[in-house]
Amino acid sequence: MKKYVIGALLISAVCIAASCKKPGNSSPASNLEGSWFVNKVYLDTNRNGIMDANELFTDTSLAHQVIRFNTDGTLVSTYYSSVSHGTWQLVNGNTYIKTTDTSGGTTTSYVLILSLTPASLEIKDTTGVGAGGYIVWEFLTKQ
């Protein structure tokens, strides 16, 4: 009887382990593809390089910003009724997102990926710092 119980437990364990494996691709690119809503933005207004609690950008219009990373390397950024088009790719060992805005010119930016999961994205943008801008941290959630 003891052999059957142990055997049944082993078979159950194998079946449970096999069912927990998730098929699919969980590469950084596949995690990034899709539509993202901007939830929070911090602006480094005191220029100390640290995301301070008092630097949370509280403009409610952020809820109207959506960025779509398409599987073909194109992107669409929507802010209210304003739409921008461009391209994207992961660079530097998948640690940066390179974006090129192709709407009325060509502007290329690089943002550091702080965290990327299938459901959330955290980035740090230092693009405008040299031109008197701020470091910007953005927290996004996938639609």
Question: CATH number for the domain including 137?
Answer: 2.40.128.540
Task: Give the pLDDT confidence of 92-134 residue by residue, as tens digits.
Answer: 999 999 999 998 878 899 999 999 999 999 999 998 887 788 9
Percent of the chain predicted with pLDDT > 90: 62
Residue-range definition of the domain harbouring residue 67: 27-142
Within a domain: 19: no
Task: Give the pLDDT confidence of 19-31 residue by residue, as tens digits.
Answer: 344 455 589 999 9
Which tops the pLDDT comparison, 126 or 5? 126
Q: Does the structure show a pLDDT above 50 at 9?
A: no
Within a domain: 124: yes
Within a domain: 13: no
Q: Does the structure show a pLDDT above 70 at 15?
A: no
Within a domain: 38: yes
Within a domain: 7: no
Q: In the prediction, which pLDDT does 25 show?
A: 57
Token pair recorded at residue 99? 């974006």
Q: How many separate domains does the chain show?
A: 1
Within a domain: 9: no
The four Cα atoms 28, 30, 36, 38 give a dihedral, to 10 degrees, of 0
Give kind and range of the element (H or E) at residue 83.
strand 82-91
Q: Does the structure show a pLDDT above 80 at 5?
A: no
- Residues 6 or more apart whose Cβ sits within 8 Å of residue 117: 31
